[in-house]
Amino acid sequence: MMEEEELEFVEELEAVLQLTPEVQLAIEQVFPSQDPLDQADFNAVEYINTLFPTEQSLANIDDVVNKIRLKIRRLDDNIRTVVRGQTNVGQDGRQALEEAQKAIQQLFGKIKDIKDKAEKSEQMVKEITRDIKQLDHAKRHLTTSITTLNHLHMLAGGVDSLEAMTRRRQYGEVANLLQGVMNVLEHFHKYMGIPQIRQLSERVKAAQTELGQQILADFEEAFPSQGTKRPGGPSNVLRDACLVANILDPRIKQEIIKKFIKQHLSEYLVLFQENQDVAWLDKIDRRYAWVKRQLVDYEEKYGRMFPREWHMTERISVEFCHVTRTELSKIMRARAKEIEVKLLLFAIQRTTNFEGFLAKRFSGCTLSDGTLLKKLESPPPSTNPFLEEETTPEMEELALEKGELEQPKKPKAPDNPFHGIVSKCFEPHLYVYIESQDKNLSELIDRFVTDFKAQGPPKPNTDEGGAVLPSCADLFVYYKKCMVQCSQLSTGEPMIALTTIFQKYLREYAWKILSGNLPKTSSSSGGLTISSLLKEKEGSEVARFTLEELCLICSILSTAEYCLATTQQLEEKLKEKVDVSLTERINLTGEMDTFSTVISSSIQLLVQDLDAACDPALIAMSKMPWQNVEHVGDQSPYVTSVILHIKQNVPIIRDNLASTRKYFTQFCIKFANSFIPKFITHLFKCKPISMVGAEQLLLDTHSLKMVLLDLPSIGSQVVRKAPASYTKIVVKGMTRAEMILKVVMAPHEPLVVFVDNYIKLLTDCNTETFQKILDMKGLKRSEQSGMLELFRQRLPAPPSGAENSSTLSLMAPTPEQESSRIRKLEKLIKKRL
């Protein structure tokens, strides 16, 4: 019973002392301790095992028990002291709280006393300053009254003087007085309800109206609309009248300017009427010479009459430009059939020069004056030809030839605000220029064709890479000139039309000059012609390209690569020149694709030529009696023949494609992709093969593999590492050929080992490939049937969904089957021949 009670007491004690993790963490932070007895996860068994790790340590059990009892007594003493110390805590707390409440009440009383004293002080200050504020208001009102009376006196006197001076036309005094009267009148806007003030304001308005009518009448008398100008210089009266007009309603100033400019240009409209000989485009210089003389005459006679801020010289020039644009548009519409390209370009050139002259002399500030003149819609800054870097045509051609179109330009000059103010009228007639460029480019392409036929293919080049055809640079230099010239004429639809012309002749150049001059092969990838069959029957090689033809193909490839890069740059420059809204319509992707096709065709021709040169050697390999080979020697003659052809062709191609290294790499990759499958196909035809024959073939295959790996730098003094993409293709393809020969060399018994070895080495699940290897080993059909059945059983299970595809692939003819069909057709043709 005692033991049960003790256990229950321990359980209750543990339940009471079970603290939450948060409380336990707080205790550890306040009272950090390393004593195991203070840990939350204290384990008595582990603690005892720590004190007595061995049986020998039990000899000190009495000392340990005494220490623990001493510790328990100390803990009891501490607990007793703490409990006794807490007996008076409640009483002390209540006493402290009462003292705090009393202190708060005292503090509140003091704050209330301070607030009452502050209110009394504020009331006292208000009583002291009340009289001072009254005096300040009185002073302010008195000052305002005196100032208003003075302004009223000045206004009344000024209005009387203004009316008197107006009648006497004393415009010089009126200009100063009127401005002062208007400034004074602004102070009386809030007093307009007073009849006397309103009456003075109406008198000022009436004086302004009278002044405006009087000044207009004076200018009409001095510069009548009909008849000639009054001789002599302008009077001082009119000069002062302009100063007054500056203060009056802006419409008065605009009316003066309009009438003066109209009268000043009346002679121009008479001299250059539509029916006059000097009005046509061939004498357009006379128009601009006339206005320059008029500007000089104006400066001499009227330069001091009008204020400088009126910019009268610029206004005359701008109005002249508007009139000229209208007149030229009318006369060109009437005589459109007489416009020729040279005449049109002459007129545009002279006009743009005149616009440049205006830009240098004037700022263009009057172009934004909507009450008098309408500003032309300015082109985007990026398409303005005047913002182009100043370069000579020779420098532009040189930069284009070097492919420097993409180089960043220097900061451009400020925009020309007068660009297009006259030359816009020529834009509807630029079709004449576009048609002319179409004709010129057609003649240029024909000349390129004739020159190519006359000069023949380029000479072999083994030093600096394949030469780009000179006609290519000539074409793009001409394009550059046309683009710059057209952008100076217009940045709108004519540029789109010119781009269409560019696209047309880029395609023609690709077809007539590049593709049209590629050498023609005597055989194609689909089969052999009768002539090639006859040559093969006679034991001679298939016709190949000469050295000159190989150099020509490389030159055409380099030219197409240059055209591709330059066409891309041309597209970017055209988009810079044309209006922003039209950039989406400029797209030379089709032309770049055309040049890419020429490059692919050139590479394919080079691959076919080298491939065809290697074909007789591969045929000789397949016809050798490999079952009769008795010993393994050096590489076979057919390998020597293949290596010889590679060493003949590849260095020539590499040297002529030195400037386009990436396309030489493409040639190597395509040749490897063509030669290696063909080599494996002919390898399957070598049957039956003895063990020694297979070893000789394996040696030959390794020799070809080494040559192919060294193909990019073969015959070169500078040895470069072959590209990784090319090396991967060669290693993968030739390793498959080596694995085929290793399977052929392996004994076919036991059958299971042979089949598993085949699947492991070739990882080829095609039954036909397995049967070809059996044929190479010289096994009979009866022996093959059992091995084929075992092969099908040992094949790994195909992934889900792959059964249908494998079935279809078995049903479709393989390349080997197609090749055998072609061979049968060739034999049939040979028999008939």
Contact assessment for residue 698 and residue 662, using Cβ atoms and an 8 Å cutoff: no
- 644-663, pLDDT tens digit by residue? 999 989 999 988 888 888 89
For 555, 660, 668, the CA distances from 562, given in Å and listed in that order, are 10, 9, 21
438-445, Cβ contacts within 8 angstroms, sequence gap of 24 or more = 438/501, 438/504, 440/478, 441/478, 441/501, 441/504, 441/505, 442/505, 444/474, 444/475, 444/478, 444/505, 445/505, 445/508, 445/509, 445/512, 445/513
* Half-sphere CA count of 223, side-chain side, radius 13 A: 20
Average pLDDT on 16-31 reads 75
Find where tokens 């304001």 sit. 201
Name the residue with higher pLDDT: 250 or 232.
Answer: 250
Name the residue with higher pLDDT: 631 or 530.
Answer: 631
Alpha-carbon dihedral of residues 586, 587, 588, 591, nearest 10 degrees? -130
For 159, 244, 531, the CA distances from 238, given in Å and listed in that order, are 22, 10, 102
Contact assessment for residue 688 and residue 629, using Cβ atoms and an 8 Å cutoff: no
Average pLDDT on 213-224 reads 75
Average pLDDT on 361-386 reads 50
Q: What percent of the chain has pLDDT over 70?
A: 80
pLDDT score, position 382: 34
Q: Cα(391)–Cα(576) distance, rounded to whole angstroms?
A: 17
Alpha-carbon dihedral of residues 396, 397, 403, 408, nearest 10 degrees? 0
**Range from 65-69, 361-365, 465-469 carrying the lowest mean pLDDT:** 465-469
The count of other CB atoms within 10 Å of the CB of residue 200 is 19
Q: What is the DSSP string of 146-196?
A: HHHHHHHHHHHHHHHHHHHHHHTT-HHHHHHHHHHHHHHHGGGGGGTTSHH
Average pLDDT on 73-101 reads 83
* pLDDT for residue 829 is more than 50: no
* pLDDT for residue 530 is more than 60: no
Q: What percent of the chain has pLDDT over 90?
A: 14
pLDDT score, position 230: 47
Q: Cα(400)–Cα(397) distance, rounded to whole angstroms?
A: 5
SS3 for 494-542 is HHHHHHHHHHHHHHHHHHHHHHHHCCCCCCECCECCHHHHHHHHHCCCC
Average pLDDT on 365-385 reads 44
* pLDDT for residue 745 is more than 70: yes
Contact assessment for residue 620 and residue 637, using Cβ atoms and an 8 Å cutoff: yes
Q: What is the DSSP letter of 590?
A: H
Name the residue with higher pLDDT: 257 or 508.
Answer: 508
Name the residue with higher pLDDT: 515 or 209.
Answer: 515
The alpha-helical segments, DSSP class H, found in 685-814 are 691-709, 724-745, 751-762, 767-777, 781-794, 803-811
- 584-634, pLDDT tens digit by residue? 998 999 999 999 999 999 999 999 999 999 999 999 998 888 888 888 888
Q: Cα(823)–Cα(131) distance, rounded to whole angstroms?
A: 130
pLDDT band for 823, please (50, 70, 90 cuts): low
Among 719, 643, 699, smallest CA distance to 675 is for 643
Contact assessment for residue 343 and residue 282, using Cβ atoms and an 8 Å cutoff: yes
Contact assessment for residue 513 and residue 581, using Cβ atoms and an 8 Å cutoff: no
The count of other CB atoms within 10 Å of the CB of residue 149 is 10
**Range from 293-302, 342-351, 698-707, 807-816 carrying the lowest mean pLDDT:** 807-816
- Please return the burial class of 322, using the count of CB atoms within 10 Å of its CB with bins 0-12, 13-18 and 19+: middle
pLDDT band for 387, please (50, 70, 90 cuts): very low
For 460, 543, 598, 649, 656, the CA distances from 546, given in Å and listed in that order, are 11, 9, 20, 10, 14
The count of other CB atoms within 10 Å of the CB of residue 692 is 16
Q: Cα(311)–Cα(303) distance, rounded to whole angstroms?
A: 10
- 420-448, pLDDT tens digit by residue? 788 888 888 888 888 888 888 999 999 99
Q: Which residues contact 422 (CB under 8 A, 6 or more apart)?
A: 321, 324, 325, 328, 351, 354, 355
pLDDT band for 338, please (50, 70, 90 cuts): confident
Among 572, 574, 567, 569, smallest CA distance to 594 is for 567
- 665-710, pLDDT tens digit by residue? 999 999 999 999 999 999 888 888 888 888 998 999 999 999 999 9
For 94, 98, 193, 629, 758, the CA distances from 91, given in Å and listed in that order, are 5, 11, 84, 122, 101
pLDDT band for 303, please (50, 70, 90 cuts): confident
Contact assessment for residue 179 and residue 247, using Cβ atoms and an 8 Å cutoff: yes
* pLDDT for residue 413 is more than 70: no
pLDDT score, position 506: 92
* pLDDT for residue 539 is more than 80: no
Contact assessment for residue 499 and residue 509, using Cβ atoms and an 8 Å cutoff: no
Contact assessment for residue 430 and residue 494, using Cβ atoms and an 8 Å cutoff: yes
Contact assessment for residue 564 and residue 599, using Cβ atoms and an 8 Å cutoff: yes
> Residue 53: is the preceding peptide bond cis (ω within 30°)?
no
pLDDT score, position 8: 67
Q: What is the mean pLDDT of the chain?
A: 77
pLDDT band for 368, please (50, 70, 90 cuts): low
Q: Cα(533)–Cα(306) distance, rounded to whole angstroms?
A: 98
pLDDT score, position 11: 65
Residue 280 has which token pair? Answer: 């046509």
The count of other CB atoms within 10 Å of the CB of residue 826 is 16
Name the residue with higher pLDDT: 124 or 801.
Answer: 124
pLDDT score, position 730: 92
Average pLDDT on 486-507 reads 86
pLDDT score, position 532: 41
Contact assessment for residue 734 and residue 704, using Cβ atoms and an 8 Å cutoff: yes
Give the best-scoring range by mean pLDDT among 149-158, 449-458, 461-470, 504-513.
504-513
